[in-house]
Amino acid sequence: MKLKRSSRLVDMTHYLLQHPHKLVSLSFFSERYASAKSSISEDLVIIKESFETQGIGKLTTVPGASGGVRFLPLVKKEAAEQFLHTLSATLTDTERLLPGGYLYMTDILGDPLTINEIGRLIASAFVTKQVDVIMTMETKGIPLAYATASQLNVPVVIVRRSSRVTEGSTVSINYISGSSKRIQSMVLPRRGLAPGSHVLVIDDFMKAGGTMKGMTNLIKEFDAELAGCAVLVETKEVSPKLVDGYLSLLKLGEMDQESDISVEIGNYFDYFQEDDLQ
């Protein structure tokens, strides 16, 4: 159906936001709106400018017959800093202290807008990396994994603590929890991960990094490749970690039951990618 520019802009914005990292040909939009490719090109210039000015992301153009346009969600540094400062302030509440040096984050992990923004931050850091699939361990990392996967447009595989009848045949490995030193299992459906795929591992919380380390071993078991690791909160307390080269959004200071909670920004900005694309 033929649409006016204003309506095209609204629909194209929606379409691009729903299909991040997907190469969309000019012909696709041209047919969708019964409009000339030259008009579509002009629309895309407007959208590109708005996305960049408002910190939504980049539109990159791939020239040639098989080319098109690709939307890459990307936060601005200033917006990321502001978001992480607000989040760390929310976490700095002594009522969140739990026995064992844990922090109550269930409410934060339950808020979709916050989770989606965290996903956008993680996806921004990996925007130029090859990521084919995102892996997480049940349960709390799952929303973060999906939020990131939505922005990178890749599937999610969930590692479980025990095998389930609903997953068919599985591969299981044992690992040692870094902080409790207990032997535990992790299980992934045999059909879950293709050999050679590049896996980004995501979790909500890392103390010693035992779970993360276990997942990197599981990736080897499937002859897949590690693309990176990202956590929402790491603790200062246990150092060095069992994995290195991970990204952390926030870092939790050492706590005793009496003292205040200190939460600072993690190593996120070392991984921040915005400049690479400018």
- Decide if 130 contacts 227 (C-beta within 8 A): yes
Helical H segments across 92-140, by residue range:
106-109, 112-125
Structure letter (DSSP) for residue 256: -
In this structure, how many other beta carbons lie within 10 angstroms of the beta carbon of residue 250? 22
Write each residue from 188 to 227 as x if it is in contact with its own copies (CB under 8 A), else as -, in one continuous string: -x-xx------------x----------------------
- Nearest to its own copies of 2, 270 (CB atom): 2
In whole angstroms, what is the distance from residue 263 CA to residue 93 CA? 10
In whole angstroms, what is the distance from residue 275 CA to residue 257 CA? 41
- Decide if 226 contacts 254 (C-beta within 8 A): no
Q: Report if residue 104 touches its own copies, rule: CB under 8 A.
A: yes
Write each residue from 111 to 130 as x if it is in contact with its own copies (CB under 8 A), else as -, in one continuous string: xxx-xx--------------
Q: If binding means CB under 8 A, how many residues of this protein chain bind its own copies?
A: 60
Helical H segments across the chain, by residue range:
5-18, 26-32, 37-53, 77-91, 106-109, 112-125, 141-152, 210-221, 268-271
Contacts with 14 (C-beta within 8 Å, 6 or more apart), sequence order:
none
Output the smallest distance, CB 87 to its own copies, in A: 15
Q: Report if residue 86 touches its own copies, rule: CB under 8 A.
A: no
- Nearest to its own copies of 47, 242 (CB atom): 47
Write each residue from 3 to 42 as x if it is in contact with its own copies (CB under 8 A), else as -, in one continuous string: x-xxx-xxx-xx--xxx-----------------------
Output the smallest distance, CB 54 to its own copies, in A: 5
Output the smallest distance, CB 262 to its own copies, in A: 19
Footprint (CB under 8 A) of its own copies, residues 145-164: 146-147, 149-150, 153-158, 160
- Nearest to its own copies of 10, 245 (CB atom): 10
Contacts with 1 (C-beta within 8 Å, 6 or more apart), sequence order:
33, 34
Output the smallest distance, CB 64 to its own copies, in A: 26
First and final C-alpha spacing in the chain: 36
Using CB under 8 A, list all residues that contact its own copies. Answer: 1, 3, 5-7, 9-11, 13-14, 17-19, 46-47, 49-51, 53-54, 56, 98-100, 102-107, 110-113, 115-116, 138-140, 142-143, 146-147, 149-150, 153-158, 160, 165-168, 189, 191-192, 205
